Amino acid sequence: MSLHFTRLSPALGAIVSGIDLAQPLDSARQQALSAALLQHQVLFFRNQDLNPQQQRDFAAWFGDLHIHPLYPKIEDTPQIMVLDTALNDLRDNAIWHTDVTFIDTPPLGSVLVARQLPEYGGDTLWASGTAAYAALSPRLQQLLEGLTATHDFTKSFPLERFGHTPEALANYEATRRRTPPVNHPVIRTHPVSGDKALFVSDGFTTRINELPPAESDALLAFLFAHFAKPEFSVRWRWQPGDIAFWDNRVTQHYAVDDYRPAHRIMHRATILGDKPF
């Protein structure tokens, strides 16, 4: 069966059909999906049935996997992070963010599987950093070239929400020591396509290092709002059996928190990337 891609928006997003992700991937299909990820930035798969081990194995075709320092994991498959509203405070997901930019080598991508969904609500939006960059004026693009920004995990993971027990506090403090704030370029170059993308997010970016605080705050506020424009985004309404696979190097996403008190469970595998330049 051949792969088929149905584009969802001008900026990004495509539905992939003609593949069962529970089956072992071969190199030809891995290469086809990698090429489609470059073109579409986020890929969606319907009617899939993967257990956590199969999800891990699929993601591992694209690189080594990250183990999140704070969120719970599947006990025998720690590469699969659990996003469960009954277990986690997930307010940090209801903000535009790029995953795990608080490390030196932020993820290449992520594979998200819907496990339990509310009857309605709980959509996720993705936005394209390349489209957001291309829409900036040449003068502003020139200004941003060469600037760097600080990314800090405490912006989305504050102590008061993730250090509420002695065990959680000890883990939080250890994570803080292992992951001090890091600097990344404000404009990132995709390591494969060479495309330039805006690489700051409201989730983890705290300041532009080369500017005074007032100027940094004003420019970041503009860039965060610019990135979130509907013209650069696609919105996905989850169904049971859905999987999303996105290029974390050039996208942000926002998990809409509009379904409480309904229960939502998602499993994520995160693929390690390289140092932004």
The single-letter DSSP state of residue 184 is E
Asked if 178 is an active-site residue, the reply is no
Report the alpha-carbon distance of residue 210 to residue 189 in Å, rounded: 19
Q: Give residue for tokens 């050039």.
A: 250
Find the catalytic residue in 97, 207, 249, 267.
97
Report the alpha-carbon distance of residue 121 to residue 256 in Å, rounded: 7
Report the alpha-carbon distance of residue 74 to residue 78 in Å, rounded: 5
Report the alpha-carbon distance of residue 223 to residue 232 in Å, rounded: 13
Q: Give residue for tokens 């963010």.
A: 97
Find the catalytic residue in 57, 92, 99, 242.
99
Asked if 176 is an active-site residue, the reply is no
> What residues are paired with 208 via a beta bridge?
149
Name every residue whose Cβ is closer than 8 Å to that of residue 161 and which is 6 or more positions away in sequence: 89, 91
CB atoms within 10 A of CB 237: 12
Find the catalytic residue in 40, 66, 207, 253.
253
At residue 233, φ and ψ (nearest 5 deg) are -125, 165
Helix, strand, coil shares of the chain as percentages rounded to 5?
A: 30, 30, 45
Report the alpha-carbon distance of residue 49 to residue 68 in Å, rounded: 24
> What residues are paired with 248 via a beta bridge?
none
DSSP letter for each residue of 83-112: EETTT---GGGSS-B-TTTTSSS--SEEEE
Which amino acids are annotated catalytic?
A: 97, 99, 253, 268
